[in-house]
Amino acid sequence: MTTAISVKNLTKTFGKTVAVDHITFEIPEGIVYGLLGPNGAGKTTTLRMLSTVIKPTEGTATVLGYDILREPLKIRERIGVLPEDTGLYDRLTPVETLIFYGKLRKMNRNEIMKNMDVFLSMLGLEEKRNEKVGTFSKGMKQKVALLRAILHKPNLLFLDEPTSGLDVVSAHDIRDFIAKEASEGKTVVLSTHNMWEAEKLCQEVGIVDAGKIAATGTIGDLEKLTHEAALEDVFIHLVKGEEP
């Protein structure tokens, strides 16, 4: 299986604080990979380094075959990112938002409109396409931010807590969308602390704790490693540092 992401000794410090501590792991192409960990474990910092938003203090990684230090622009062209904070402009409508970001990605207008129409319909935003984003609920804003990330049909998606704090319907719609993208061969890296969500969506997971990778592999592999029968129990076992 082709490797989508290869991480070697990746480290990030902020002053004396070690946010990510020499992590090493690989993510195969075409799967949903979950980065699971408690708040402050280093998940968001890891995603920000892999998506070339910030540079590592030590170590390196390749994303879709490109080095995050030497070839960041090539990576940015090929990925979509949904950050923890959507960062949308409240005065713009979904249509205006997607046209703006599509142009930033040098997409032509026909391509923008074609992709936009498909994705707005898939996420149930068709009737809201010309309303200002500032009037939207948190779930609707999250959907617009997700559309912004996938408008150019990237091969790899970085999603940081995509359903955190959302109502049941919005969270369900976003999970269904992630599953559909994965079924079409996209690689998805999903940061979450929702164990049920990870079990439903992810083929492999990495358990992150205090900036380190405690374990990585399929859920079945980790259950065997820890002698636990559910991902939540696996997570607690590894984060508490119990011996297998």
Q: With helix as H, strand as E and coil as C, how does 151-181 read? A: CCCCCEEEEECCCCCCCHHHHHHHHHHHHHH
Q: Has residue 19 been placed in a domain?
A: yes
- The pLDDT score that the predictor gives to residue 241 is 65
57-86 pLDDT, tens digit each: 999 999 999 999 999 999 999 999 999 888
Task: Report the CATH number that the domain containing residue 132 is assigned in CATH.
Answer: 3.40.50.300
44-59 pLDDT, tens digit each: 999 999 999 999 999 9
Number of domains in the chain: 1
Answer for the pair 174, 164: CB distance below 8 angstroms, yes or no: no
- The alpha carbons of the chain give a radius of gyration, in whole angstroms, of 18
> Is a pLDDT exceeding 70 seen at residue 205?
yes
* Host domain of residue 191: 3-239
- The pLDDT score that the predictor gives to residue 68 is 97
- The pLDDT score that the predictor gives to residue 242 is 58
- The pLDDT score that the predictor gives to residue 244 is 45
pTM of the predicted model as reported, rounded to 2 decimal places = 0.93
Q: How large is the greatest C-alpha to C-alpha distance in the chain, in angstroms?
A: 57
Q: Strands (DSSP E) along 100-231, which ranges? A: 156-160, 187-192, 204-209, 212-217
Q: Has residue 73 been placed in a domain?
A: yes
> Is a pLDDT exceeding 80 seen at residue 172?
yes
Q: Has residue 108 been placed in a domain?
A: yes
> Is a pLDDT exceeding 80 seen at residue 132?
yes
Phi and psi, residue 219, nearest 5°: -60, -40
| CA-closest candidate to residue 131, choices 98, 92, 170, 99 | 92
> Is a pLDDT exceeding 60 seen at residue 110?
yes
Q: Has residue 134 been placed in a domain?
A: yes
Q: Has residue 244 been placed in a domain?
A: no
> Is a pLDDT exceeding 70 seen at residue 243?
no
Q: Has residue 165 been placed in a domain?
A: yes
